[in-house]
Amino acid sequence: MKAIDLAIGGKSSFSLVRPPGHHAGPAYGMGFCSFNNAAIEAAYALQKMQRVAIVDWDVHHGNEIQGNYNESDRVLYCSIHRYPFYSGIGSIKESGTGKGEGYSVNIPFPAGSGMQLYSRAFNAIIIPALKSFKPELIIVSSGHDALSDDPLWGMKLHPEDFGNSLRCSPTSHPFLLYVILKEDMEGQMDWLPEKSLDKRRRIRITNRRCVFG
């Protein structure tokens, strides 16, 4: 909640909660998740604003984030994940229901996918969807199990990919420039020094609101 308040106040923020919790339902745990942190953060933010986007790049689909907001047009949920895979849902055909039709964006990838495919997904699907939706806040459900040296899940990302995929041109990726985090498999985190970003990017960063959860 503090991270949301900081973001609403214009400061980048990082919720150090592991895992993001995207499998947990309202009254039950699932897939090692007890609390659905990203969904809870979104619910809290929606008390203060109209539109929140959640970008989820964990290798698993966030079944209960989608489940929570499946009928909502106030939350845009974008997920890149391995499919078919646990938790069993997340096909491209699942796009929301009722008022929420079109507000769930699922991008299923096969095992072995790497940054080339992820970049295409961001450029062709996620960034345009965010631009169209115009979220007041972006929550990044930042699972890191798509890394190439994770022995269990079979994707081919590298730590720097998480930052590089989003730390792009301000004109084409205006909403995601807070994403400047790198993390290795031991959970060591390394913020890219702000001076490594050009002046225009720093200005954009200070004007955008994004939360990792």
Active-site residue (options: 22, 23, 60, 144): 23
Residues binding Zn ion (CB under 5 A): 58, 60, 143, 145
Q: How near is the Cβ of 173 to Zn ion at its closest, in Å?
A: 24
Length of the chain in terms of residues written? 213
Nearer to Zn ion, 7 or 33 (CB): 33
Contact by Cβ (8 Å): 36, 19: no
Nearer to Zn ion, 67 or 170 (CB): 67
The residues near 41 (Cβ < 8 Å, ≥ 6 apart) are 1, 3, 4, 15, 139, 211, 213
Q: Is residue 187 classed as helix, strand or coil in its secondary structure?
A: coil
Which residue number places its CB atom closest to Zn ion?
60
Q: How near is the Cβ of 68 to Zn ion at its closest, in Å?
A: 17
Nearer to Zn ion, 12 or 141 (CB): 141
Does residue 23 carry a catalytic annotation?
yes
Q: How near is the Cβ of 94 to Zn ion at its closest, in Å?
A: 18
With 0-12 / 13-18 / 19 or more C-beta atoms within 10 angstroms meaning exposed / middle / buried, residue 154 is middle
Catalytic residue numbers, as ranges: 23
